[in-house]
Amino acid sequence: MLVLVICGSFILSVTCHGGHQHSLYLPEISENKAKSFLHNRHIRSLDPHPDYCTYLRYESWCEWHIPYCQGQQEFTREHRCATLSTPCSPGQHCVLTTPCPAHFRHNCVDKNECDSNPCQNGGTCHNGNNQYTCTCLPGWTGTNCEIDIDECASTPCMYGNDCIQDRINSYICVCSERFEGVHCERDCRPGPADVMFLIDTSFSQKEAINQSVDFMTEFVKQIPIGPNDFQVSLVSFSLHPKTIFNFTTFQSNSSLLNALSLIESESGPTKTSDALQYASQKILNPANGARLLSNISHYVILVTNGLSTDRNQAIHTAQILRNTNPHFKIYAVGIGEDIAHEELVQLPTDASLSFSPDNNDLLLAMLKDAADYGCTDCNSTSLTDVIILFDTSEDSSPLKGSSLHSLKFVDKLVDSFDMAHTDIKVAMLTFSSDSQIKFNFSHISDQDMKAKIFTTTIDNRQRNTSIRVGLLKMEEFFTSPSSGGRPEARKICYLFTNGKWPTSENSELKHKIEELNAAGISVNVMVTVDDTDSYSDTDMSLTNAKEIAFDPYRVYIVEENNDYVIIQAAARETRYVKCPSDIFKSKH
Ligand SMILES: *[C@@H]1O[C@H](CO)[C@@H](O)[C@H](O)[C@H]1NC(C)=O
Ligand SMILES: *[C@@H]1O[C@H](CO)[C@@H](O)[C@H](O)[C@H]1NC(C)=O
Ligand SMILES: *[C@@H]1O[C@H](CO)[C@@H](O)[C@H](O)[C@H]1NC(C)=O
Ligand SMILES: *[C@@H]1O[C@H](CO)[C@@H](O)[C@H](O)[C@H]1NC(C)=O
Ligand SMILES: *[C@@H]1O[C@H](CO)[C@@H](O)[C@H](O)[C@H]1NC(C)=O
Ligand SMILES: *[C@@H]1O[C@H](CO)[C@@H](O)[C@H](O)[C@H]1NC(C)=O
Ligand SMILES: *[C@@H]1O[C@H](CO)[C@@H](O)[C@H](O)[C@H]1NC(C)=O
């Protein structure tokens, strides 16, 4: 019987004995049998009488499992390919196109170089003509992506900071103490900077020399001195400026501290304009050891009472100097028996750089300025609780005589706090023999606040004043948890009075204000001076105020027409800089 088997493009004719009928759909043989059949090239020579029906079954199984057969007959492929009359060209390889036992066929096809998975570490292989290319995952390189790229090789961490390759395709900069940023790009250690103290030693300052020295000493103790750090020079002035020491004289903190007391009182006028000119020439002069690099700031710290003989010229000169060189900055400190705030806010680079000597505000503002922009060690803040403490007593209320002027001042002062955009909170208390809360720290509308301010009146029922009553009430209000004050906020009190209380109260009041100061509440005495006051009246008011104030800097004169500068000066302390105490020490 004849059976036609269609296999690929071949037609096989096979006659089987035993009467078996064979169709195209022969029963499958087991995988193992087919494998051994395909592997055994001698199958026919071993069996001189092959059973063609068995053979057919093998063939049929193979036809149905071509991919499998192709994979299993490397031996046959090698054998057949070795007999090629024309070997495959480079870039091609010999394959069996038809692997069935009855009609092995081979052919030359383009080789897929990617078959051997040459690309490592997740790289993608691209087959080319007799070659391949690998596209590597980020972080790898080399023909086969076998090389781990050293991301630190390009020294991405600035200022020589350490680079660590923490993972594939990644690195970490380990910033040493003074640097911040992903690449340690911000130098956050304040400095280097050249700092010149410019000290008013004129006649009017003869009692203030020691306080100036104390101020400088406190300042210098907190900064590192050296050729790569802060350099300090000292110039005093009265009629003429003179250099006590220049930037190169001292290279260490301890030797410098002793030399600060070398300033001496003089008997001349206060020629601040000349002194500022001199300062600018000396501080920007390498002959004095100044370092004229763009990354080094130059600070002139002007210590004065603000009573310049040449005030207008001084303000003009200061303006020209700071406009000419942005690296030359003037800061002012008010030290003296009487402080003229109106001058002190106009001499520095801006009004916010006028400082009291009683705290570290100037130093901290300078340290922030002397570090890179964007460093977060030192932050500006306005977290401040303010109490307006208004005297309404018959005798010493500012409302007596000067009508509403002092209330207008309070209103403008409160406006200047810009509470919608700052962290400042304000409360207002009035006092005569007793005290009253006008408004507390909880927010009320500007309109309501204004209304409450302007409805303040003299308390006619009480003929006697007691500033002490007011101070005690204010202290209680600050410390009471129910007033809405914030424990972490700076606490400032503005005491509005005309200063005409009995002088006999002064020592007790002074003591109380010192106590408040030690408890973190600074009291500014806002003395309202009335046009109708005689010179001796005014003098008594100021004398009283100065006698009770913690420092002469804390006395402000409120009169018509000086509101703007006095408000700038008085409100300055509501905005300040905070730095960690170990700003110069290691952060890690
Ligand atoms: C300033 O200090 C010196 C030395 O400590 C002292 O002798 C002098 O009396 C002080 N002067 C004033 C005005 O306090
Ligand atoms: C400066 O000197 C003072 C006193 O000698 C010392 O207490 C302080 O730690 C020094 N400051 C610095 C920054 O070196
Ligand atoms: C700066 O001070 C040093 C040491 O006191 C001194 O030798 C030098 O002459 C001074 N420089 C100038 C320009 O005065
Ligand atoms: C300041 O700049 C100079 C030159 O431009 C540079 O050599 C120096 O390292 C810089 N100093 C700091 C602290 O960045
Ligand atoms: C006011 O003070 C005077 C003297 O200080 C005193 O005699 C008088 O009793 C006081 N009056 C009131 C209402 O407290
Ligand atoms: C603060 O004042 C508001 C209204 O002015 C009032 O509702 C609130 O009770 C006051 N808070 C305290 C603690 O007195
Ligand atoms: C300044 O702000 C940064 C970021 O908010 C904070 O990490 C840091 O502690 C602050 N510094 C001070 C002195 O409050």
pLDDT digits (tens, 9 = 90+) for 560-572: 877 899 999 999 9
CA of 584 to the centre of ligand 4 (A): 18
Output DSSP code: residue 29: P
For residue 513, pLDDT beyond 90: yes
How many other C-beta atoms are found inside a 10 Å radius of the C-beta of residue 452?
Answer: 14
Cα separation of 140 and 135, whole Å?
9
**Closest ligand relative to 294 C-alpha:** 4
Residue entry with tokens 């200022």:
159
Q: Which residue has the higher pLDDT, 264 or 77?
A: 264
Q: Ligand 6 pocket, 396 CB below 6 A?
A: no
- Where does 190-327 show beta strands of DSSP type E? 193-200, 230-237, 241-245, 297-304
Architecture of domain 381-578 in CATH? 3-Layer(aba) Sandwich (3.40)
Confidence grade of residue 95 (pLDDT, cut at 50, 70, 90): confident
User: What confidence tens digit (pLDDT) does each residue in 119-168 have?
Assistant: 999 999 998 888 899 999 998 999 999 999 998 999 999 988 999 988 88
E-strand ranges in 75-151 read: 92-98, 105-110, 124-128, 131-135, 140-141, 147-148
Q: What does the block give as tokens for 545?
A: 């105020």
Give the number of the atom of ligand 1 that is nearest the alpha carbon of residue 206.
Answer: 13
Mean pLDDT score of the chain: 86
Of the candidate ranges 25-34, 101-110, 335-344, the one whose mean pLDDT is the lowest: 25-34
Evaluate: CB of 288 within 6 angstroms of ligand 3: yes
DSSP 8-state assignment for residue 354? E
Does the C-beta of 253 come closer than 6 Å to ligand 2?
yes
Quick check: helix, strand or coil at residue 155?
coil
Q: Quick check: helix, strand or coil at residue 579?
A: coil
**Ligand number nearest to the C-alpha of 438:** 6
Question: How far, in Å, CA of 186 to CA of 158, rounded?
Answer: 9
User: How far is the C-alpha of 370 from the C-alpha of 295, rounded, in Å?
Assistant: 9
Q: What is the mean pLDDT of residues 109-113?
A: 82
450-492 confidence digits (pLDDT tens): 999 999 998 877 656 689 989 999 999 998 888 889 999 999 9
Please report, rounded to a whole number, the percentage of residues in the chain having pLDDT higher than 90.
59
d(CA 21, CA 1): 8
Of 569, 486, 566, 469, nearest to 520 by C-alpha is: 486
CB atoms within 10 A of CB 513: 23
Confirm or reject: Cβ of 210 under 6 Å from ligand 1.
yes
- The per-residue pLDDT for range 240-293, each reduced to its tens digit, is 999 999 999 998 888 899 999 999 999 999 999 999 999 999 888 999 999 999
Could you tell me how far CA 419 lies from the centroid of its own chain? 24
Q: Which atom of ligand 2 is nearest to the CA of 221?
A: 1
The domains spanning 151-187 and 381-578 adopt the same CATH topology:
no
What letter does residue 573 receive in the DSSP assignment?
A: G
Angle between helices 405-416 and 563-571 (to 10 degrees): 50
Inform me whether the pLDDT recorded for 320 exceeds 70: yes
Q: Which fold has domain 195-370?
A: Rossmann fold (3.40.50)
The residue contributing the CA closest to ligand 6 atom 10 is: 440
SS3 214: helix
Tokens of 577: 């800089």
Close Cβ partners of 30 (under 8 Å, ≥ 6 residues apart): none
Name the 3-class secondary structure at 169. Answer: coil
Q: Residues 32-52: what's their mean pLDDT?
A: 58
- Ligand 4 neighbours, Cβ below 6 Å, are 187, 192, 293, 295
Helix axes 506-518, 467-479, angle to 10 degrees: 10
Q: What's the pLDDT at 1?
A: 36
Ordered by start, the domain boundaries in the chain are 1-45, 113-148, 151-187, 195-370, 381-578
Q: pLDDT by residue (tens digit) across 62-76?
A: 777 777 777 666 767
Whether 484 lines ligand 6, by a CB cut-off of 6 Å, is: yes
Q: How many H-runs (helices) and E-runs (strands) does the chain carry? A: 18, 26
- Give me ligand 4 centre to Cα 293, in Å: 7
* Model confidence at 4: pLDDT above 70: no
Nearest CA to ligand 3 atom 9: 288
State the distance from the centre of ligand 4 to the C-alpha of 354, rounded, in angstroms.
Answer: 29
Q: What sign does the CA torsion over 446, 447, 452, 456 have?
A: positive
Contact 262 CB / ligand 3 (< 6 Å): no
Residue of the nearest CA to atom 8 in ligand 4?
A: 295
Q: Is the pLDDT of residue 429 over 80?
A: yes
Atom of ligand 3 nearest to the CA of 287: 13
Helix axes 311-324, 272-283, angle to 10 degrees: 20
* 435 beta partners: 431
**Residue 6 pLDDT > 50, yes or no?**
no
CATH topology of domain 151-187: Laminin (2.10.25)
Contact yes or no for 382/353 (Cβ under 8 A): no
State the CATH class of domain 113-148. Answer: mainly beta
Please indicate whether residue 285, judged by its CB atom, sits closer than 6 Å to ligand 7: no
Give the pLDDT score at 2. Answer: 39
Pairing of strands 131-135, 140-141: unpaired
- Supply 67's token pair: 């991919």
State in Å: Cα 467 to ligand 5 middle. 14
